[in-house]
Chains A and B, each alone.
Chain A
Amino acid sequence: MLSASLTLAALAVILAWPVPVLLARAHWPSRSPGVALLLWQAIALAGGLSMIGSLVTFGLIPFSNGLLSGLADLPPLVFSGALPAGAGLIHLFALSSAALLLAHLLLNLGVTVTRTERQRRRHRSLVDLLSTPLLGQPGTLILDSPAPVAYCLPGARTVTVLSEGLVSLLDSDQLDAVIAHERAHLRQQHHILLVAFESWRSALPWFPIATRAQVAVSLLVEMLADDQSRRLTDSTTLAEAIALVGSAETQNIVRRGPASMSVVDAPAYAVRADKVGTATEFGEDLQHDVRFATSVDPVVVRVRRLLHPELQLSLPARTGILCLAALLLALPALLLLTA
């Protein structure tokens, strides 16, 4: 069991640091976002499993020869208070750490899900009062606001919200592209993945890796929705829609400023203008083209990807990555079962 425990610990370290760093830097995920998304999930699950598994197998060494029989024997031993010979503090420490880590991760998931659900309900009741249904487009609401925004609300009754500002900014093809993009989010249930990775990140804030995974996953999800959308319209129309919305929104705030906003939207814009202000501190003197070519900003990355489409990964490459993902999950599971 010691060897299994050490192997699991090594796997946990590899999955927590070098692997996510390499994957976050890689270029291929933008060619096959769906495959990359599966790989991220495998890394997160296998990483968590190895972390907890290595602690459990180590802690159980004095108790038994195997993980399963060890776990079965543990409760009566704990309640009777009689510990087997060789069970030191370090083993008990490992076992309680495993239990605490597991509880921490699960509780955090629960809290994140509940908080998100509450925010969604509050938002939904606001939207219901402040918007009107779009004729001929079931599940689409038009929000009475000059700010050009589009978003979707997942949940029991999913809905896509477009603002009047957005409708006047885009032509009808571009609007179709936006709606198709949002529908893809809803149809493919992206919010479940986003909540899971958000909870992973808030549970392990001192883990730069969880943050990286969250950022990568949210961009990949956008790329997947973009891919669905361009199947219905075309890449250029969608790219224009993204660029128009992305540049118009900031323009409203930076060029005109919150002071000249209508009273209705001033508070919201003020919040946003503060945030935008802090982002101006870097990259001032870079050339636009250089920045465009090297940008890691998700919006620019999406537009560039749509304007210069690349072939998706070859079938063997995709199969290979999927096998790798399956192997990543199978490895800690096998180590635990045979330990």
Chain B
Amino acid sequence: MATLGDLERSIMERLWQSDAPVSAAELRDDLEHKTSAGKDLALTTMLTVLSRLERKGFVARDRKVRPHLYFAVTTRADHTAELLAQVLGAEPDREAALARFVGQVSPQEADTLRQLLEKRAGSVGASAAPRPLPAAQAD
């Protein structure tokens, strides 16, 4: 079952891996071979999804050649960084676009929280297995 979202994801994964711009037909053939998402894909579907991705600013195309060649605007890492910057920059007292589970924490506050966890782990440890502490995750 390939939803539009699945198809967008597969196309982007393919474009992110690709060194050179590719045509819609090439993309479709690749997807048909490599993933189940590309089964029985019509070229028009590919073109629709590609222009959706272009509108969202993830894909650009070279219009000087026929057929048009598509490529990713930037790397997956750049997009991940943009997304994380939005998440980490979203403070309850600044933006309301998304609600974070835990907001900004200063180093002192983190220390306080860590001590609290250690205290709890110490008291729980006698009866049950201690929970993983953040210190254990440091490396």
Contacts and interface: CB of A to CB of B under 8 A. Distances in A.
Nearest to A168: B137
A151 B92 CA distance: 12
Contacts of A300: 109, 112-113
B80 A144 contact: yes
B36 interface: no
Interface stretch (A8-16, A64-72, A268-276): A268-276
B96 A149 contact: no
B83 A130 contact: yes
Given A130-B80, A251-B138, A280-B107, A271 B99 contact: no
A55 interface: no
Contact of B111 (A123, A178, A275, A288): A288
A264 B81 contact: yes
A295 interface: yes
A245 B79 CA distance: 23
A298 B117 contact: no
Given A126-B82, A266-B81, A271-B88, A299 B9 contact: no
Interface string B81-94: 11111111110111
Given A125-B56, A195-B96, A271-B89, A242 B110 contact: no
A162 B19 CA distance: 31
Interface residues of A, number: 82
B12 interface: yes
A191 to B, nearest CB: 6
A222 B104 contact: no
A127 B131 CA distance: 30
Nearest to B83: A126
Contacts of A255: 138
B116 interface: yes
A64 B136 CA distance: 75
A247 B110 contact: yes
Nearest to A251: B134
A87 interface: no
Nearest to B101: A150
Nearest to A236: B120
B96 to A, nearest CB: 4
A143 B87 CA distance: 12
Given A126-B83, A251-B110, A219 B92 contact: yes
A130 B106 contact: no
A254 B81 contact: no
Interface string B34-59: 00000000000000000000001010
Nearest to A242: B102
A153 interface: yes
Given A194-B96, A298-B92, A181 B101 contact: yes
A204 B118 CA distance: 43
A71 B114 CA distance: 61
Contact of A247 (B76, B77, B81, B114): B114
B83 A242 contact: no
Nearest to B13: A129
Interface in A291-338: 291-292, 295, 297-300, 303, 307
B55 to A, nearest CB: 10
B125 interface: no
Most buried by A among B12, B93, B94, B111: B93
A24 interface: no
- Give 9 nearest A-B pairs by CB, closest first: A268-B84, A218-B92, A279-B106, A150-B101, A250-B110, A194-B96, A119-B97, A243-B113, A267-B81
Interface of B: 5, 8-9, 12, 56, 58, 76-77, 79-90, 92-117, 120, 131-132, 134, 137-138
12 contacts: A112-B96, A122-B86, A153-B98, A154-B99, A190-B99, A219-B92, A243-B114, A248-B134, A268-B80, A272-B89, A280-B106, A286-B108
